[in-house]
Amino acid sequence: MIKRIFTKEEWLKALEGLREHYRVFAPVKEGDFHNFRLMGEAGKPDFDFQNTRLSPKSVIYPQSERMFEYTLDETRQDAHVMKESPKDFSPQAIVGIRPCDGYAFQLVKINFDNPQYQDPWWVRRMEATTLVGFGCNEPCATCFCTSVGSGPFSEKGLDALMVDLGDRFLVRSITPKGEKLLEQIALGSEPGESALRKAQDLSDTAQKKISTRVPVDQLKSKVVNKLFDAPFWEKVSFACVNCGTCTYLCPTCWCFDIQDEVLGKEGDRIRNWDACMFPLFTLHGSGHNPRDKKVQRVRQRFMHKLKYYVDKYNDGVACVGCGRCVQYCPVNIDIRRVAQVMNDF
Ligand code: SF4
Ligand code: SF4
């Protein structure tokens, strides 16, 4: 394991230097929010934040991605031939990712990289990515990572972890990818005992600051059909406006739709994020829609995260407790309360 300590200026310089080897994504303040941006294309990285509004999932799995392109021009020899659109799989690093979001990539891997199916683009991008986590000294009031298998200083899914010691950053490697990243930085020094102790204290204190306990321990034992037919879904879904905010912000939501767009004789096949909260998501070509009612869509979202996933993978819930959906739902639908209702039913 490599451990280095940097002044904050040194760390920014180190990230600049890393751009020789990686495309570096870091949090940048934009208006009231922080978002992950490619260094060199946006403002200066800023690590004074609780969490980014959007999860960094789009760095691996873009919100809109051109998959293939083709021409309908019959005068060309390659008319109607589907060609893979150019994509960038060069090494990249996401620096400053919160531990919940790092863990989310592990959950999403179940969908995109499993023995039955490998999504070639997700897999190649993930292989090319080094995740430098950032311990949460001050978790948000809406965080509940400790109830769902993660924690403010959890290392799950991360290659390295940064700790904000106030005037300096302590960075330690977790995996060979993290070691390689740190080996490429000439700046920094060996941390002393007091810095290491301080980092441990910050971790212990942060763990205690997350007071919300969301019960999910009984979900596996519930009968799926009983939960599906439970009377509380009308009440849970009543206020939902089907805006899709919860799914778009969520680091573990992975659904997409594939559309063809043709301009003149040139066509693109594009993959776009989609969401179970939208009526069109399940509309069949026949016109039938198995989830044409709001209550069915809201139930699907919670049943998928808190019951179907639990039963299928036996690996906890499909939620990392980042609290984004709680913070940004315009009508205050709260997954923590829904989990409790389902768990206690
Ligand atoms: S953010 Fe809230 S209102 Fe919007 S779709 Fe999700 S649960 Fe419904
Ligand atoms: S369901 Fe909500 S709290 Fe859970 S990971 Fe998704 S956005 Fe975060």
Mean pLDDT of 270-294: 96
- Amino acid letter, residue 42: A
Instruction: Enumerate the β-bridge partners of residue 156.
Output: none
Write down the domain spans for the chain: 3-64+85-209, 219-344
Closest CA to 333 of 291, 292, 305, 313: 305
Provide the mean pLDDT of the chain: 96
pLDDT class for 42, splitting at 50, 70, 90? confident
Q: Note the pLDDT of residue 14.
A: 97
Q: Give 337's pLDDT tier (boundaries 50, 70, 90).
A: very high
The answer, yes or no, to whether residue 159 has pLDDT greater than 90, is yes
pLDDT for the residue 268 = 97
Q: What is the pLDDT of residue 98?
A: 98
Q: Which parts of 54-111 are beta strand (E)?
A: 64-71, 83-84, 92-97
Ligand closest to the CA atom of residue 328: 1
**pLDDT for position 102:** 97
End-to-end Cα, the chain, rounded Å: 46
pLDDT of residue 175: 98
User: Ligand 1: which residue has its CA nearest to atom 1?
Assistant: 329
Cα–Cα dist 126/89, whole Å: 9
| 194 pLDDT above the threshold of 90 | yes
Q: Among the bound ligands, name the one nearest to the CA of residue 216.
A: 2
The Å distance, Cα 230 to ligand 1 centre, comes to 20
Residue 42's DSSP bridge partners are 39
Q: What is the pLDDT of residues 216-256, one digit of tens each?
A: 999 999 999 999 999 999 999 999 999 999 999 999 999 99
- The pLDDT value given to residue 10: 96
The arrangement of strands across the sheet holding 64-71 comes to 83-84, 64-71, 266-273, 256-263
Mean pLDDT of all residues in 40-44: 91
For residue 249 and ligand 2, the question of a CB distance below 6 A is answered with yes
pLDDT at 212 over 90: no
**8 dihedral zone (left: phi>0; alpha: psi -120 to 50; beta):** alpha
Distance CA 12, CA 149 (A): 31
Alpha-helical segments (H) within the chain: 8-18, 57-60, 99-112, 120-127, 176-183, 193-209, 224-228, 233-237, 245-249, 294-303, 309-313, 324-328, 335-344
Residues 175-193 have a mean pLDDT of 95
* pLDDT value of position 247: 96
Ligand nearest to the CA of 142: 2
Using 50, 70 and 90 to split pLDDT, how confident is the model at 120?
A: very high
Hey, whose CA ends up nearest to atom 1 of ligand 2?
319
Q: Which of 98, 7, 91 is nearest to 56 (CA)?
A: 98
320 close to ligand 2 (CB < 6 Angstrom): yes
pLDDT at 191: 93
The string over 255-279, giving b where at least 16 C-beta atoms fall within 10 Å of a residue's C-beta and e elsewhere, is ebeeeeeeeeeebebbbebbbbbbe
Reported as a single tens digit per residue, the pLDDT across 72-115 is 999 999 999 999 999 999 999 999 999 999 999 999 999 999 99
Our answer on whether the CB atom of 321 is closer than 6 Å to any ligand 2 atom is: yes
Contacts of 87 (CB under 8 A, 6+ apart): 65, 121
Bridging pattern class, strands 33-38 and 23-30: antiparallel
Look-up: residue for tokens 């390659």? 78
Give the per-residue pLDDT at 57. 96
Is the distance from CB of 318 to CB of 339 less than 8 angstroms? no
Q: What pLDDT does residue 151 have?
A: 96
pLDDT, residue 153, reads: 97
What DSSP designation does 32 have? T
- Residue 166 has which token pair? 């106030």
CB within 6 Å of ligand 1 — which residues? 240-246, 277, 329-331, 333
Phi and psi of 70, rounded to 5°? Answer: -155, 165
317 contacts 226 by C-beta, under 8 angstroms: no
